[in-house]
Chains A and B, each alone.
Chain A
Amino acid sequence: MKIATIKTPDQVIIPLQQHAGAVCNSLVSVGDIVSAGQLIGDGESRIHSSVSGEVTAVSELPHPTGKNVPSVVINIHEGAEKEIEPEELSTGKLRHIIREAGIIEPNGLSTLRTKAEIDTIIINGTNTDDLSSNAALMLDYPAEIVYSLKALMELVGAKKAFIVIELNSEALQVMRTETIPDRNIKVIATPMYYPPGTEDVLVKNVAKKKVPRGSTPEDRGVLVSSIAAMKAIYDAVHGIPMIKKVITVAGAVGSPRNVLVDIGTPIGHVIEECGGCNGTPAKIIVNGAISGTAQYTDQVPVIKTTTGILVQTEKDVNREPPAPCINCAWCVDACPIGLMPHLLYGYADSAEFDRCADLYIDDCIECGLCAYICPSKLPIVQMIRYGKHGIAEAEMEDLS
């Protein structure tokens, strides 16, 4: 597997919110000339320009999450090519570098969130359904990933690290070979299951520690990170902030593959560069078929949390009307958290939010497995979101 590169688009749209948290402040205004790697947004996280060009707009534009977010639009100047200055970043400690480079995990959080004591690092190298960008990164950059992992272990003082990879992944052998000299880095093969990236499940299965409700893996001394973040840390140490992302383009496209994309590239451009759509696209999904978000426009940009783009044609889109729940309990068996999705669906449907709360609706990670497996085709995830929203609203009312 080789990661392909694509032609840079004429225009990139860089949202000022690519992390879980408040929107960053824009440091540029219309007419400014920026260079690749230049800081353009600051706040809870840091955002850099991925290209060199002229800022043509700073306005609210569509974002992969479905809402409009303040974004910086940059038109690429052929002449304005200017290299990134490596010194700016590579000075200082790694903790400082991770923040300065604006490294964001695929779940939207920063890699180092707390200063809690960490003794174990888990790197999630599993692939989410049809997305294989993790495997591609490990095949192409095994040494870089191990380099970053070792640096991270040293920084937080972790004694051991695990890299979790699926049993049938080509990357398994590569990473095993790469980590032979390091006794404290273990490569763990897991059977194929979804969702592999759930932090609490990983921590339970790999580090054998339970994460109680309301606390994070860090509280138990475990740091969960991703392959994408390891690559970003390696780049950051060598002076390149997080301005590129490896994503998987899958589904009904000419040549499905893993591509290296500048942050801010509209997904329509990425699809074009991957051979375009086979037939009329009916649905464009960012971040995987089971838990991803369907987009209403192909002008949304690739952001730091993007892991893949899936294109579906009309025949792939499920339009079967839901039937009544038949109590088959497949959702109960499928739930990785141990919830009762069919009951949550029923109670949320009849707006009995307090009963949803009694059944731990807030623990739901919205992985989508229950709705995938449901023979009645019930929109369980949608209803659970409605239930969570209802509880949040009731709490707001209680406060006021």
Chain B
Amino acid sequence: MTFTISPPPHVKSRESVKSVMWGTVAALIPVSLAAIYLFGLPALMVILASVIAAVVTEVIIYWAASQPITAGDGNAVLIGLLLALILPPDIPIWIPIAGSVFAIAVAKYIFGGTGTLIFHPALIGFAFLLAAWPTLLSTASTPHLGSFSDLFLETGAGRLIEVSPALVLLGGAFVLYKRYVDRRVAISATILLIPSMLILGMGWQLPYILTGGFFLGLIFLAADPVTSPVTKRGRLVYGIVLVVLILIQLHFNAYFTGLCFAILLMNAFGPFIDKNTVPTPIGGR
């Protein structure tokens, strides 16, 4: 009789990279549907164009580089979907395509693929579009929390993600519960942001913060496992410094774009924070 031998452990948890990526995608489906409901066909076109462009780019690049094609793990779909959600719906269809191609080709592939990349690809794609075609990306309106119903369906939404803060929070609760995004970053940043705004006399800006875009940024983008630090202390530091950067951006009335650049800037500090917060093992001096 032959038996398999292998190093321990001999059981493994059910979670895999696939389940993490596809689970995060699933968490964003409700808000995507709400966006299609509110904006109609243009929103669907933006989402489809962005996701398909991301997957096709990934397949072509990995095929051309003779590397195993990993598009099935859902990472490219997630990047495409996140990028589509932070764009306004009334844009030419080549805009999300250009953004996705840039996100996958430059921010993901050139930086070494899933796991080794430094900057969040969806945010890099967004920053690239914003730098290249700023006029095309201007939103029709800036959402703010006027009435209670805005939490569920924000009719003043300028971007796909802003249609429903409640649905983003619902998806966010799911990924936080499943630990698909980092709890320490998301929770420390969210909890710290509101009191510090009140203390600094920025309370009048709160309605602009309680929007889908900010919840997406703090939960899905800032706490993204790949780009946030790994040490326990480091993740708290990351969340706290991120809040400081967001507050500076808010001072200049930069809302969603300000948040995106705050997260990108923090991405750059991630490895630095990790290096300086290496934990002392139990029994260490």
Interface of A toward B, CB cutoff 8 Å: 66, 129, 200-201, 204, 210-213, 281-285, 289-298, 310, 312, 316-318, 320, 323-330, 332-333, 336-340, 342-343, 359-360, 363, 366, 368-369, 371-377, 379, 381-382, 385
1/0 per position for B8-42, CB-CB distance to A under 8 A? 11111101110110000000000000000000000
B285 contact set on A, CB distance < 8 A:
212-213
Cα A190 to Cα B57 in complex, Å, equals: 51
| Residue pair A372, B9 in contact (C-beta under 8 Å) | yes
Q: Which of B79-87, B94-102, B228-236 contacts A (4 or more CB under 8 A)?
A: B228-236
Cα A104 to Cα B227 in complex, Å, equals: 47
Cα A204 to Cα B227 in complex, Å, equals: 33
| Residue pair B284, A381 in contact (C-beta under 8 Å) | no
**Is B278 located at the chain interface by the 8 A CB criterion?**
yes
| Residue pair A325, B278 in contact (C-beta under 8 Å) | no
* A–B Cβ pairs within 8 angstroms, 19 of them: A210-B283, A212-B284, A283-B3, A283-B6, A289-B9, A290-B9, A290-B11, A294-B6, A295-B5, A318-B11, A324-B116, A326-B114, A327-B115, A327-B228, A340-B230, A342-B230, A369-B9, A372-B12, A373-B13
**Is B226 located at the chain interface by the 8 A CB criterion?**
yes
Interface of B toward A, CB cutoff 8 Å: 1, 3-13, 15-17, 19-20, 70, 73, 113-116, 179, 182, 225-232, 235, 278-285
| Residue pair A363, B13 in contact (C-beta under 8 Å) | no
CB-CB nearest 8 A-B residue pairs? A382-B7, A368-B9, A328-B225, A329-B230, A294-B5, A290-B9, A289-B11, A324-B115
Residue picked from B6, B11, B73, B225, most chain A C-beta under 10 Å: B11
A66 CB, nearest partner CB in chain B, Å: 8
A369 contact set on B, CB distance < 8 A:
9
| Residue pair A366, B282 in contact (C-beta under 8 Å) | no
Main secondary structure of the interface of B (DSSP, over half): loop
Cα A368 to Cα B7 in complex, Å, equals: 9
| Residue pair B12, A327 in contact (C-beta under 8 Å) | no
A310 contact set on B, CB distance < 8 A:
10
B6 contact set on A, CB distance < 8 A:
283, 294
B113 contact set on A, CB distance < 8 A:
324
A204 contact set on B, CB distance < 8 A:
282
Smallest CB-CB separation from A282: which chain B residue?
A: B4
Q: Of A318, A333, A366, which one neighbours B232 at CB under 8 angstroms?
A: A333
Q: Of A201, A366, A375, which one neighbours B20 at CB under 8 angstroms?
A: A375
Q: Of A290, A340, A359, A377, which one neighbours B10 at CB under 8 angstroms?
A: A290
B9 contact set on A, CB distance < 8 A:
289-291, 368-369, 371-372, 381
| Residue pair B10, A285 in contact (C-beta under 8 Å) | yes
Cα A374 to Cα B6 in complex, Å, equals: 16
B11 contact set on A, CB distance < 8 A:
129, 289-290, 316, 318, 372
A382 contact set on B, CB distance < 8 A:
7
| Residue pair B284, A363 in contact (C-beta under 8 Å) | yes
| Residue pair B282, A381 in contact (C-beta under 8 Å) | no
| Residue pair B12, A381 in contact (C-beta under 8 Å) | no
B25 CB, nearest partner CB in chain A, Å: 15
| A326-B7 in contact given A210-B283, A213-B284 (Cβ < 8 Å) | no
Q: How many A-B residue pairs have CB under 8 A?
A: 161
B280 contact set on A, CB distance < 8 A:
338
| Residue pair B279, A338 in contact (C-beta under 8 Å) | yes
A287 CB, nearest partner CB in chain B, Å: 9
Cα A342 to Cα B116 in complex, Å, equals: 12
B4 contact set on A, CB distance < 8 A:
282-283, 294, 317
A381 contact set on B, CB distance < 8 A:
7-9
| Residue pair B3, A296 in contact (C-beta under 8 Å) | yes
A291 contact set on B, CB distance < 8 A:
8-9
B183 CB, nearest partner CB in chain A, Å: 9
| Residue pair B226, A326 in contact (C-beta under 8 Å) | yes
Smallest CB-CB separation from A294: which chain B residue?
A: B5
A339 contact set on B, CB distance < 8 A:
279, 281
| Residue pair A376, B7 in contact (C-beta under 8 Å) | no
Q: Of B10, B20, B231, which one neighbours A328 at CB under 8 angstroms?
A: B20
Cα A158 to Cα B255 in complex, Å, equals: 64
Q: Of A290, A338, A375, which one neighbours B17 at CB under 8 angstroms?
A: A375
B85 CB, nearest partner CB in chain A, Å: 21
| Residue pair B115, A326 in contact (C-beta under 8 Å) | yes
Cα A228 to Cα B278 in complex, Å, equals: 38
A213 contact set on B, CB distance < 8 A:
281, 283-285
Cα A381 to Cα B12 in complex, Å, equals: 13
| Residue pair B1, A323 in contact (C-beta under 8 Å) | no
| Residue pair A200, B235 in contact (C-beta under 8 Å) | no
| Residue pair B5, A368 in contact (C-beta under 8 Å) | no
A325 CB, nearest partner CB in chain B, Å: 5
Smallest CB-CB separation from B19: which chain A residue?
A: A375
A285 contact set on B, CB distance < 8 A:
10
With A282-B4, A326-B226, A369-B9 known, 17 other A-B pairs at CB within 8 A are: A210-B282, A213-B283, A283-B3, A285-B10, A290-B8, A290-B11, A292-B8, A294-B10, A298-B3, A329-B229, A329-B230, A330-B179, A332-B230, A340-B279, A375-B16, A375-B17, A385-B7
B224 CB, nearest partner CB in chain A, Å: 9
Cα A222 to Cα B210 in complex, Å, equals: 54
Cα A316 to Cα B13 in complex, Å, equals: 12
Residue picked from B4, B114, B225, most chain A C-beta under 10 Å: B4
B10 contact set on A, CB distance < 8 A:
283, 285, 289-290, 292, 294, 310, 312, 317-318
| Residue pair A296, B5 in contact (C-beta under 8 Å) | yes
Smallest CB-CB separation from A323: which chain B residue?
A: B17
Cα A159 to Cα B278 in complex, Å, equals: 38
Cα A374 to Cα B225 in complex, Å, equals: 13
Cα A8 to Cα B30 in complex, Å, equals: 62
| Residue pair A323, B20 in contact (C-beta under 8 Å) | no
Smallest CB-CB separation from A296: which chain B residue?
A: B5
Residue picked from B13, B16, B231, B280, most chain A C-beta under 10 Å: B13
| A338-B281 in contact given A375-B17, A375-B19, A381-B8 (Cβ < 8 Å) | yes
